[in-house]
């Protein structure tokens, strides 16, 4: 691809040597990956400024530079007068536009479904992908846990990748026969322009609760980023907006989406939701309910446990139907859907109590998780319900929003009978210092608690306190297989550590 062809649709502030004839072989935002005939996009980021690495890209014989720094542009025009240059206002938006062009606009060859919200994105995206696949579509999944490319599973690095990597995935999916794109769309990605050029046919909103304020600073700014997926102000508005009717932010999203030309479809437990569950009965192994929808009614038996997962299922059903999947096919497929890794994932070594691993890492998610555990305790059992307890283990991540730490302590204390406070991913912070900020909210609830900073030891401690009929919740890391410490990253899987601890207690292998 020629430079002129590459930059044709990119809005620029200034250009140099735009008639250059070099063949472009790649688009890069990491100077370490630049080689001869690569274009380097130097953009300002949250952690670093790519413009600091322009000299490295030039030394690697880059074929051209796209920058969002006027100073860098001026310097390059003097020091490298023959080098093709493009000055843009937003580096990340330009990266998306360039990447889409370089990969021959693969996003135009798929029908896209985007899922945003604080909690439930991963489960809703997985379920939507499964419903589409069962209907004969070939879906490309881009998500927090993993990416699915025509049946191949790959570990994911970010909830929403940088646009260059995202478009490379989409292009590969198209080459391998994908017809649908289902992806989690983070608030960071929306705010930074990583998903520019992708037109979402269906956009799903799960909920909004306190999270990521280390980045957004305020809930208003956090919501404003989510709203971008629906209001048509920066991105093309979706054809259909699928909104959680039980969330307080959905009314505003419905108004802006409708004003932007989208059809609004709601889901939830509320009687006014278009897709809703009535007569919900929860069991330790799943849920049963009467599905009420504009397309029909049906009794659903699901392997997804808890009201929260029923909400996620309703959102996925509404989205898949909005993508043209027949209602009868959805009803047939719903009982086949399985829980998502690290999302209310049971660990069973034959022990007489329930052990659940879950990604809950916000106060709202912890409340939902402990509420779900209480629902399990209410299920029939030989052990009297009054003697059955919820034991919750959790920590808070380092270098992230510190204000949610006491709130998570409060949420855990209010929903549990015993809380084990431990480390999550402390990153550059001291685990003990993080725990100190958790404890005030927990202590205020009066709930019994123990502190063990070593997460593996804490998991063993939590399990040692469990009796017949109890529910042990291991919260915060879910599907993750690493723990990020100050000076190293170590392998750590909550599920595997819990299974090993159960086996050390004398229970058998995983059932």
Phi, psi for 66 (deg, rounded to 5)? -115, 125
Residue at token pair 């959102």: 315
Bridge-based pairing state of the strands 448-451 and 418-421: parallel
- CA atoms of 267 and 265, how far apart (whole Å): 7
Annotated binding site for ATP: 117-123
- CA atoms of 500 and 124, how far apart (whole Å): 30
Which residues 6+ apart lie within 8 Å of 241 measured at CB? Answer: 202, 203, 205, 230, 253, 254, 257, 258, 262, 263, 264, 265
| Crossing angle for the helix pair 91-102 and 163-175, to the nearest 10 degrees | 20
Query: Could you give the 3-state DSSP secondary structure of residue 140?
Result: strand
Query: Could you give the 3-state DSSP secondary structure of residue 114?
Result: strand
SS3 content of the chain, % helix, strand, coil (to 5): 35, 25, 40
Point out which residues pair with 420 in neighbouring strands.
393, 450
Annotated binding site for meso-2,6-diaminopimelate: 400, 424-427, 476, 480
- CA atoms of 308 and 323, how far apart (whole Å): 23
- CA atoms of 238 and 201, how far apart (whole Å): 5
Point out which residues pair with 23 in neighbouring strands.
2
DSSP conformation class of 59? H
Bridge-based pairing state of the strands 146-149 and 85-87: unpaired
Annotated binding site: 31, 117-123, 159-160, 186, 192, 194, 400, 424-427, 476, 480
**Category of 489 on φ-ψ map: left (φ > 0), alpha (ψ -120 to 50) or beta:** beta
Phi, psi for 435 (deg, rounded to 5)? -60, -40
């Amino acid at each position: 691809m020629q430079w002129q062809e590459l930059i044709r649709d990119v809005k620029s502030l200034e250009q140099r040597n735009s008639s250059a004839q070099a063949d472009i072989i790649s688009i890069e935002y990491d100077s370490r990956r630049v080689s001869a005939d690569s274009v380097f996009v130097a953009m300002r980021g949250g952690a670093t400024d790519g413009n600091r690495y322009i000299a490295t890209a030039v030394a690697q014989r880059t074929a051209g530079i796209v920058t969002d720094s006027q100073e860098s542009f001026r310097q390059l025009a003097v020091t490298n007068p023959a080098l093709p240059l493009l000055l843009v206002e937003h580096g990340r938006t330009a990266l998306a536009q360039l990447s889409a062009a370089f990969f021959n606009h693969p996003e135009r060859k798929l029908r896209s479904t985007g899922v945003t919200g604080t909690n439930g994105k991963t489960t809703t995206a997985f379920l939507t992908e499964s419903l589409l696949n069962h209907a004969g579509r070939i879906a490309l999944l881009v998500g927090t846990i993993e990416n699915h490319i025509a049946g191949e599973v790959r570990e994911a690095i970010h909830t929403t990748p940088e646009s260059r990597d995202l478009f490379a995935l989409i292009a590969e999916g198209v080459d391998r026969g994908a017809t649908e794109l289902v992806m989690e769309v983070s608030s960071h990605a929306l705010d930074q322009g990583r998903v520019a050029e992708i037109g979402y046919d269906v956009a799903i909103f799960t909920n909004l609760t306190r999270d990521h304020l280390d980045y957004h600073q305020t809930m208003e700014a956090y919501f404003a980023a989510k709203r971008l997926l629906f209001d048509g102000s920066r991105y093309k508005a979706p054809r259909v907006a699928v909104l959680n009717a039980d969330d307080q932010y959905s009314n505003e999203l419905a108004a802006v989406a409708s004003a932007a030309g989208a059809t609004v479809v709601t889901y939830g437990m509320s009687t006014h939701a278009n897709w809703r569950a009535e007569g919900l009965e929860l069991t330790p192994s799943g849920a049963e309910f009467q599905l009420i929808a504009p397309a029909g009614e049906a009794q659903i038996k699901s392997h997804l446990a808890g009201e929260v997962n029923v909400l996620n299922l309703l959102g996925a059903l509404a989205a898949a139907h909005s993508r043209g999947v027949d209602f009868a096919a959805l009803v047939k497929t719903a009982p086949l859907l399985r829980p998502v890794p690290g999302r209310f994932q049971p660990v069973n070594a034959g022990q007489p109590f329930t052990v659940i691993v879950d990604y809950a890492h916000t106060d709202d998610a912890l409340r939902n998780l402990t509420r779900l555990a209480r629902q399990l305790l209410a299920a029939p059992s030989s052990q009297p319900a009054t003697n059955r307890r919820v034991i919750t283990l959790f920590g808070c991540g380092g270098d992230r929003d510190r204000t949610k730490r006491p709130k998570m302590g409060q949420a855990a204390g209010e929903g549990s009978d015993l809380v084990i406070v431990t480390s999550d991913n402390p990153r550059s912070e001291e685990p003990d210092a993080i725990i100190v900020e958790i404890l005030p909210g927990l202590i205020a609830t009066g709930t019994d608690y123990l502190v063990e900073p070593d997460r593996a030891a804490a998991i063993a401690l939590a399990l040692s306190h469990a009796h017949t009929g109890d529910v042990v919740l291991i919260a915060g890391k879910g599907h993750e297989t690493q723990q990020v410490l100050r000076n190293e990253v170590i392998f750590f899987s909550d599920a595997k550590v819990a299974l090993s601890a159960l086996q050390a207690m004398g229970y058998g292998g995983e059932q």
